[in-house]
Amino acid sequence: MSAPILPVPRVAVIVVAAGSGTRLAAGAPKAFVGIDGRSVLSHALDGVFAAPLAQVVVVAPHDRVGDALTETRQIAGARHDLVTVVAGGDTRQASVAAGLAAVWADVELVLVHDAARALTPPEVFARVIAALDVGADAALPVLPVIDTLKRVDGDRVVEAVDRAPLTAAQTPQGFRRSVLQAAYAGAAADFTDDAALVQAAGHEVVTVGGDERAFKITTPGDLDRARRLLAPAATPTPAPVPLTIGVPRVGVGTDVHAVGGEGALWLAGLEWPGESALSGHSDGDAVAHAIVDALLSAAGLGDIGTHFGVDRPEYAGAHAEAFLARTRALLAEAGWRVGNVSVQVQARRPRFAPRRAEAERVLSAALGAPVSVAATTTDGLGFTGSGEGVQAFAVAVIVPA
Ligand code: CTP
Ligand code: MG
């Protein structure tokens, strides 16, 4: 059965996710930091794909374009053909400009959304589009300012500020495409948001209702707030349970590769001179691949195909250390570290016993955690016994970082 053909959308949503997250300081670009088991970007995309049909342009840090594409396509589901990912710039404005350049010709309305507003519900997108549909050039979701405001000079209060005429701006901010494009083409300064840029170009911006959940994750406290909002509603505890109190998690992985590849055999992170190679997109190291699957499965991060599929040319021919180091980083971003891994390889050749300790050292070093390797020949039975292929089974335990 062929996939349904989607109409060409008249709306595009540019999701800017190329920032470094300096204030969050979580050790990874903000969009790739885990909230629960899933990243800021993937939560933001939930809202985007639940909103009315649109081309979705994700603007990612230049070294994360591949990761962002994999993640976005996965969340897009049947809408995966509507996904474009481009590299961002040094400022938010430069990132929006990069996204704008990738908007398809037929698109009439462009919404610009911060990935950092990860929990924005789809209704906000619908309200912004509705305002544009009744003729506005630009529409901005806002919330009333609740705090009492003061003007200060250093640490001295100068005066109270009347908050009645003030409002807090959120995203997605929506624009007639021609208006946004002209404003960007003529932008002479750096603005904090797109509505300000469009207004400086002489256009009127109308407001629509924002949403409390559309707050921007900026500081560690904001990340905690997002985690609390995502925690199951049934827990009536006012005190949030930090993720670090969570129990360890276990995952299982298995992999098979046929004998018959080019070059040398790579298995369990070691090169085996004189032995027949295994075939596969990478080096065919079934031991490493079983470990990767076990770890990703334990963290609920999908499987090896999700992150290292054949559409990732940088992993063609890669060895165990590259896969394991990347997997370890993915886990760290989601708030996990490796507890230990146990892997068993079933193969007629090579003879593992003389190099078992060496394999354990290499694999353990790559994961920063103990990896134990066992091997068996399956008594001549099955494809492993006949020497047609090699199979590996891994069990991994991960713990909150
Ligand atoms: N953004 C971007 N490109 C940049 C800077 C920011 O795409 N060069 C995006 C961020 O990814 C974020 C949104 O713009 O989704 C709002 O920016 P902000 O909250 O300031 O994020 P960061 O710049 O990543 O954070 P910080 O300022 O703390 O470094
Ligand atoms: Mg910033």
Q: 32-62 pLDDT, tens per residue? A: 999 998 999 999 999 999 999 999 999 999 9
Together in a domain, 272 and 343: yes
152-161 contact pairs (CB < 8 A, 24+): none
Low-confidence ranges of the chain (pLDDT < 50): 1, 241, 243-244
Q: Which of 13, 30, 95 to mutate to test the pocket of ligand 1 (most atoms within 8 A of CB)?
A: 30
Domain residues for the domain of 326 are 249-400
Q: Which atom of ligand 1 has the smallest separation from the CA of 90? A: 8
Q: Separation of 88 CA from ligand 2 center, angstroms?
A: 13
Q: Is the dihedral of CA 285, 321, 310, 295 positive or negative?
A: positive
Q: Do residues 266 and 352 share a domain?
A: yes
Report whether residue 192 contacts ligand 1, using a CB cutoff of 6 Å: no
Give pLDDT, residue 233: 65
Nearest bound ligand to the CA of residue 193: 1
Instruction: Record the pTM.
Output: 0.63
pLDDT in the model for residue 138: 98
What is the pLDDT, as a whole number, of residue 334?
87
Q: Is residue 240 part of a domain?
A: no
Q: Do 294 and 162 fall within a single domain?
A: no
Strand partners, 14: 57, 112
Euclidean distance between CA atoms 141 and 112, whole angstroms:
11
- In a mutational test of the pocket of ligand 1, which residue from 92, 113, 171 has the highest number of ligand atoms less than 8 Å from its CB? 92
| Domain of residue 76, CATH code | 3.90.550.10
Residue 172 and residue 68 share a domain: yes
How many domains does the chain contain in total?
Answer: 2
In a domain, 244, yes or no: no
DSSP 34: B
Q: Is 19 in the pocket of ligand 1 (CB under 6 A)?
A: yes
Distance, in Å, from the CA atom of 81 to the CA atom of 28, rounded to the nearest integer, reads 28
- Among 172, 198, 230, the domain boundary falls at 230
- Interval between CA 169 and ligand 1 midpoint (Å): 15
88 lines ligand 1 (CB under 6 A): yes
CA-nearest of 231, 206, 225, 375 to 290 is 375
Q: State whether 16 and 150 are in the same domain.
A: yes
Looking at 170, 201, 230, which one is the last position of a domain?
A: 230
Residue 244 is predicted with a pLDDT of 46
